[in-house]
């Protein structure tokens, strides 16, 4: 059975680091697990695949717990219900999510919460729309999106990559055991099947890892990071606007640290310990993808 680190190496992730800055699919994840693009079997298969990328490990939080599959599904459906009043769900607004209260004149929390601006998505420029349609639908299905095809070849869209990968995963499973699907395999055989398909279609392997990491650590408005599981895994307290960590106290005309989440000193609840394997593996994927060295 492959260890996760060996498995990630087999996937050959070229640029997974691009996934880690909190990216770009609503509210604080109150929406149910209702697929917008995937069918039920595709959803379950991709969900199981994300859990192989980031299993529960020591802290008991996996990519499946964080609903990375929901992030991926929302991303693939970003253009499906677009209107003048409802832009594609690509770039969340801001600056505030409505999760943190406003401070009073002395930097203390109040009962006033700002509007949840992150739940309102921003319109795209024409160039942004073409670029994102190429990523999701592919260059051949995007009017004006084939400008690089003569030099680089057609871009296969993420939708096609995922639907094709589910078919391939089931085919590998059936070849292993007649009548089996990826979902009926044990974890070790699932890892082998996923490594096989990712080596056959490297664009899928790269997309799956990038999107899994995005789905775990993104702001919840994009559909992932359910119940802020990814932030709990990383011990990140999340977006803090407008309360902030260092807040302005008008009575002394200076910024002061929030006692419960200070900027200049460790938080009172901070735990001093080494990174566990889940965080080390995520950092390793990011570092190697950006040309750096592995974390040990």
pLDDT tens readout for residues 239-271: 888 888 887 888 888 888 877 777 777 777 766
Average pLDDT over residues 126-142: 96
For residue 119, being part of any structural domain is answered with no
For residue 103, being part of any structural domain is answered with no
Backbone torsions φ then ψ of 69, nearest 5 degrees: -65, -35
Q: Record the tokens describing residue 277, joined without a space.
A: 């394997």
State the total domains in the chain. Answer: 1
For residue 111, being part of any structural domain is answered with no
* Region label for 223, one of left (φ > 0), alpha (ψ between -120 and 50) or beta (otherwise): left
Angle at 233 between CA 227 and CA 234, to 5 degrees: 115
For residue 286, what pLDDT band results from cuts at 50, 70 and 90? low
For residue 244, being part of any structural domain is answered with no
pLDDT confidence of residue 237:
82
pLDDT confidence of residue 279:
66
Q: Which residue has the higher pLDDT, 218 or 267?
A: 218
Q: Which residue has the higher pLDDT, 33 or 185?
A: 185
pLDDT confidence of residue 8:
43
State yes or no: pLDDT of 4 exceeds 70.
no
Q: Which residue has the higher pLDDT, 29 or 122?
A: 122
For residue 154, what pLDDT band results from cuts at 50, 70 and 90? very high
For residue 225, being part of any structural domain is answered with yes
Domain span at 139: 4-88+124-235+271-289
State yes or no: pLDDT of 28 exceeds 60.
no
Of the candidates 71, 69, 75, the one whose C-alpha atom is nearest the C-alpha of residue 89 is 75
Say if CB 72 and CB 291 are below 8 A apart: no
Average pLDDT over residues 98-114: 87
For residue 8, being part of any structural domain is answered with yes
For residue 77, being part of any structural domain is answered with yes
pLDDT confidence of residue 23:
42
Average pLDDT over residues 25-48: 81
3-class DSSP state of 254: strand
For residue 108, being part of any structural domain is answered with no
Rounded (10°) CA dihedral 216, 219, 220, 223 = -70
């Amino acid at each position: 059975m492959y260890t996760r680190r060996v498995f990630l190496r087999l996937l050959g992730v070229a640029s997974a680091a691009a996934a880690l800055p909190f990216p770009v699919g609503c509210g604080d994840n109150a929406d149910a697990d209702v697929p917008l693009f995937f069918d039920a079997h595709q959803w379950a298969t991709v969900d199981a695949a994300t859990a192989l990328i980031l299993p529960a490990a020591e802290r008991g939080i996996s990519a499946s717990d964080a609903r990375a599959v929901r992030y991926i599904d929302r991303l693939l459906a970003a253009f499906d219900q677009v209107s003048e009043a409802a832009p594609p769900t690509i770039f969340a607004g801001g600056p505030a999510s409505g999760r943190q209260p406003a401070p009073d004149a002395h930097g203390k929390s109040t009962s006033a919460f700002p509007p949840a601006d992150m739940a309102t998505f921003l319109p795209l420029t024409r160039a942004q729309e073409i670029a994102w349609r190429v990523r999701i639908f592919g260059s051949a299905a995007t009017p004006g999106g084939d400008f690089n095809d003569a030099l680089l070849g057609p871009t296969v869209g993420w939708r096609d990559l995922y639907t094709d990968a589910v078919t391939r995963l089931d085919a590998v499973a059936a070849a292993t055991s007649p009548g089996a699907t990826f979902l009926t395999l044990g974890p070790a055989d699932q890892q082998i099947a996923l490594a096989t398909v990712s080596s056959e279609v490297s664009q899928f392997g790269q997309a799956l890892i990038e999107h899994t990491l995005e789905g775990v650590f993104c702001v919840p408005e994009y559909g992932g990071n359910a119940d802020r599981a990814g932030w709990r895994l990383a011990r990140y307290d999340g977006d803090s606007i407008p309360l902030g960590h260092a807040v302005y106290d008008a009575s002394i005309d200076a910024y002061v640290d929030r006692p419960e989440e200070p900027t200049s000193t460790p938080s009172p609840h901070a735990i001093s310990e080494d990174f566990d394997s889940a965080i080390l593996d995520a950092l390793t994927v990011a570092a190697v993808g950006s040309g750096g060295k592995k974390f040990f």
